[in-house]
Amino acid sequence: MANRNNVHIVQRGDKWGTLREGGERASDLYDTQAEAIDAGREMARSGQGELLIHGRDGLIRARDSYGNDPCPPKDQA
């Protein structure tokens, strides 16, 4: 089941977009990936979801959790 709080950063033509998990259309488009990451990070923080950053090849190259981390660090000291 898709978690609508998760935000994907994806390439759309020559632009970069923020896409809620399970969605088909990007919420917003940006000229650079960095701009899309900044906007997506705020969306993920407000929804306590994950930010998944895709590269030009479409594969996930990085991810950050904000809230319910599915894989929390083991060294929680």
What is the spatial distance between Cα 35 and Cα 48, in angstroms, rounded to a whole number? 20
Statement: the pTM of the whole predicted model exceeds 0.95 = no
Is residue 39 within 8 A of residue 18, CB to CB? The reply is yes
Q: Where are the domains of the chain?
A: 7-63
Q: How far is CA 43 from the centre of its chain?
A: 8
Task: Provide the residue type at 54 as one letter.
Answer: H
Q: How far apart are CA 18 and CA 10, in angstroms?
A: 7
Using DSSP's 3-state secondary structure scheme, residue 53 falls into strand
Work out the widest C-alpha separation in the chain, in whole angstroms: 44
pLDDT tens track of the chain, all 77 residues?
678 899 999 999 999 999 999 999 999 999 999 999 999 999 999 999 999 999 999 999 999 988 766 676 777 65
